[in-house]
Structure 1
């Protein structure tokens, strides 16, 4: 039977599925056979990236996808989105009126894989370990607002924050806050390699060849105590070199599910010519792509240069010619599907305008053509990235105002070089750490930003971001976010390009797919099953 694409809209920035599940089955995988998931994500250890699966270091969707299944966090975002709910905790709450003190009580019976009980001291160790290691490549900025951690009893942990932060429960739901075993993780240094020991819903084992994972096996953790309900007993994750190879594996039945990263052509073909045995599920667009600028680099230090790029880039051409129906132009860091979005870049620059770009450069006394290299990663966001950057190059160079080149590198080399500040201009993608506008702003503009970027706006850091976090009712923070987006359009430390939809393709006997992809682009394995979804 042919299956139609399912479009799941976003409400207030959260995933809100509209598919009504069918009854008649408990949806569990009774045979014990693994559900096999394909990915083009590459998991590699290098000298510069020795610990890709350490929660203190990992900060990309592929690695977080593994950690999400195997580590437990105090909170988690429930199926379909919404405010975080307890996971390893039995309950959590702000214990003051200022959102500066957050108290959690642990569930009974939590255990590490070796059988040791998990206590509040282990939670404290896990969080303080991230802060002490302070990896530039990691997501330490999410936890940087923690002042002290108190453990009044084995079951109780209290986080005292430096400033009010209504988004803190979301941050405790991310893999950076995963609870790790002090017997397996050093408190002061990263854990090299591919081992993960946690109390999450699955135990994890990697099959490694050389310095790469070729297959990862996730087996139901019988000792797991938490809020998640597993619909299978085993999932295998297999890595493929490209979308075409992954697609062939799905067609042949070698894998059951694929998501990251299908090519635009693959998606459009599957939508136009659906196959009897495969269903394509479409999810809302929470992924964004952007250019980032090292504002200390001479080539782009002058604001007028960055503004001229913003005035020339044709987002519509990139979306239509490179990504087709899978992407839409984006004129702000906050995508159009998220509350507080405003088209700041379009409001300031309008349609691509060479005359405006020339005026900006001339008034600033910038000599043309301006030369720099557009850097991108060749293997992390899909093969269309090459065409995207060639299109950007042509757009800028055809104006006569720029003389730019392009250069690609594997993610394992690209990310360390970007963090070091080796690139003046580079392209990256972003899924939100959690479904809130803050997750499209603070990671780029706050202190301890994940780009390790030199750009710092005092009003954004000292006033607007803290002001937005004081609002427990998140819609009340919209005014601050709108002002931040306008500042970004003026200063252009980053240049949003497009936002993309998310897709999962699966064999038609796999259920739960519509619930499995979360706002961060991670596939929640426990939602996958055979039979009817529940």
Structure 2
């Protein structure tokens, strides 16, 4: 046989072998996920959005974890004690290393948690605000000291704000740290094409159960039908959220699995109370009365979730959502309130991001506001630009969702309405509301705490800082051969033990 022919046959054989190996293992060692939006940063204290929280959950660990039922489990702290109602003594694991090879010690815990109380942590202040300091007893023991008793604080250490960082890595990266994250989690950072995808790889020195896939690739696909098509054609292994239009297709596809759980969230239309005419409660109430929220929710979400009557979702303790009557539209009462407030020919913008359900809701709201003489323009923004614009107080009204990542009533409200919160985009500043929140945090679970949150929910409904639109469900689709993917009602879905079976 001639050398050229031998080489040709050898090349074909190698190609076949490589293709065969890829088809039986190599290609399947990458889990490809379609998320709705890209992360905004991978610095855990400089965001409070769900795509970034999901990225951080794969890269970092926290001192404690929450299971899907909200139970606190050991994380980087293997055990703890409560010396007083303002102190947590945490005993740290001794076998933990960062992705850069540095060993984790109490110094990293002190640095990470106290860093969250600086101006850098403005977005997550609702979680870190009661932290006083972290005292180091030895390399693997710390005491977390609080300013005041706070019965929502301990489980909040599971939120991405409590991610433990490596001080050396943060200081070396400087302002660019959010693009060069270093954690102790089951996946380590590889690359990130902003607005497109980020890639993580298994961290083989992980202290806990190792990730079951070699790589995790998370793509940003904002258009819902495109996400569903990518799932159907095998372009991705997991996609979320699956929206109303695509649920049936995913359910009926024998190669796919639909995951669906109640979400600890609320979708709302907020008012910018720092601007006229929204500083007048009569205007806010008039807009609320003008809207048929039950009809809007039914038309847009078609059998998914429900219309809330309270800011605290029914899946979170102390919610009074089930006790209150359904919202009712009253156009004449709305017109009368606007007349009392001396408001005529109002013009305003309704902001939303690209999520289809929110755009559809805004379209119906626009038509219903016209009935009471309000002309509105819908402004659709890309996710990052949307969040930036809200922080800059440029908006009038806006559609947004809030997920209680930590299932405590404090976090269902404080991040949205407390005057000091960096995610209070209604710019509500109300001393009585702040007082309720402080009292709720400082009261142990029981009848008294339940009473405080009941009064708080009723008070918020009198203030009308927002119109409640929707309590959502977490809905995801996956290939049938994906195992170990954990969908969660707090939207911090877990790929830590996800695998792809042949």
Please list the CA deviations of residues 107-148 of structure 1 after superposition, one character each: whole Å capped at 9, or x if unmatched. Answer: 011111222211111111112222223344x21221011112
Task: Verify: 1:236 aligned to 2:217, yes or no.
Answer: yes
- Partners of 1:126 and 1:177 within 8 A in 2: yes
Give the equivalent residue in structure 2 for 1:112. Answer: 98
| Between structures 1 and 2, the one with greater helix share | 2
User: Which of 122, 132, 135 matches 1:150?
Assistant: 135
Give the equivalent residue in structure 1 for 2:14. Answer: none
Q: Does the residue aligned with 2:118 lie in a helix, a strand or coil?
A: helix
Give the equivalent residue in structure 2 for 1:132. Answer: 118
Q: Which runs of 4+ in 1 moved over 6 A?
A: 29-32
Task: Verify: 1:341 aligned to 2:316, yes or no.
Answer: no
- Measure the CA separation in 2 of the matches of 1:134 and 1:31: 40
- Relative to 1, partners in 2 of residues 1:387 and 1:222: Cα closer, same or farther, differing over 3 Å? same
User: Which of 394, 418, 439 matches 2:367?
Assistant: 394
- Relative to 1, partners in 2 of residues 1:157 and 1:474: Cα closer, same or farther, differing over 3 Å? farther
Residues 31-40 or 477-486, more deviating: 31-40
How much does 1:459 deviate?
2.3
- Relative to 1, partners in 2 of residues 1:398 and 1:192: Cα closer, same or farther, differing over 3 Å? farther
- Relative to 1, partners in 2 of residues 1:299 and 1:469: Cα closer, same or farther, differing over 3 Å? same
Structure having the higher Rg: 2
Give the equivalent residue in structure 2 for 1:245. Answer: 226
How much does 1:485 deviate?
0.9
How much does 1:332 deviate?
1.3
- Partners of 2:351 and 2:379 within 8 A in 1: yes
- Measure the CA separation in 2 of the matches of 1:248 and 1:502: 19
Please list the CA deviations of residues 196-243 of structure 1 after superposition, one character each: whole Å capped at 9, or x if unmatched. Answer: 1100111122242xxx253323322222224x6644443222222422
- Relative to 1, partners in 2 of residues 1:320 and 1:269: Cα closer, same or farther, differing over 3 Å? farther
- Partners of 1:286 and 1:431 within 8 A in 2: yes
User: Which of 218, 235, 239 matches 1:254?
Assistant: 235
- Partners of 1:320 and 1:327 within 8 A in 2: no
Give the equivalent residue in structure 2 for 1:520. Answer: 490
Give the equivalent residue in structure 2 for 1:468. Answer: 440
How much does 1:57 deviate?
0.9
User: Which of 17, 25, 30 matches 1:34?
Assistant: 30
Instruction: Count matched residues.
Output: 477
Give the equivalent residue in structure 1 for 2:65. Answer: 76
Please list the CA deviations of residues 376-418 of structure 1 after superposition, one character each: whole Å capped at 9, or x if unmatched. Answer: 112xxx2222111011111111233x22222111111111110
- Measure the CA separation in 2 of the matches of 1:264 and 1:336: 21
- Measure the CA separation in 2 of the matches of 1:476 and 1:76: 27
Give the equivalent residue in structure 2 for 1:417. Answer: 389
How much does 1:527 deviate?
3.5
Give the equivalent residue in structure 2 for 1:324. Answer: 302
Question: RMSD of the alignment, in Å?
Answer: 2.5
Give the equivalent residue in structure 2 for 1:25. Answer: none
How much does 1:421 deviate?
1.1
How much does 1:183 deviate?
1.3
Please list the CA deviations of residues 175-206 of structure 1 after superposition, one character each: whole Å capped at 9, or x if unmatched. Answer: 11111111121399643552211001111222
Q: Does the residue aligned with 2:283 lie in a helix, a strand or coil?
A: helix
Unaligned runs of 5+ in 2: 1-24
- Partners of 2:419 and 2:430 within 8 A in 1: no
- Measure the CA separation in 1 of the matches of 2:446 and 2:391: 31
Give the equivalent residue in structure 2 for 1:13. Answer: none
- Measure the CA separation in 2 of the matches of 1:405 and 1:239: 27
Task: Verify: 1:65 aligned to 2:54, yes or no.
Answer: yes
Larger RCO, structures 1/2 (Cα 8 Å, 6+ apart): 1
Under a length normalisation based on structure 1, what TM-score does the superposition of the two structures give? 0.84
- Partners of 1:299 and 1:371 within 8 A in 2: no
Give the equivalent residue in structure 1 for 2:18. Answer: none
Q: Does the residue aligned with 1:304 lie in a helix, a strand or coil?
A: helix
- Measure the CA separation in 2 of the matches of 1:353 and 1:506: 43
How much does 1:309 deviate?
1.3
Give the equivalent residue in structure 2 for 1:178. Answer: 163
Q: Does the residue aligned with 2:176 lie in a helix, a strand or coil?
A: coil
- Measure the CA separation in 1 of the matches of 2:419 and 2:96: 35
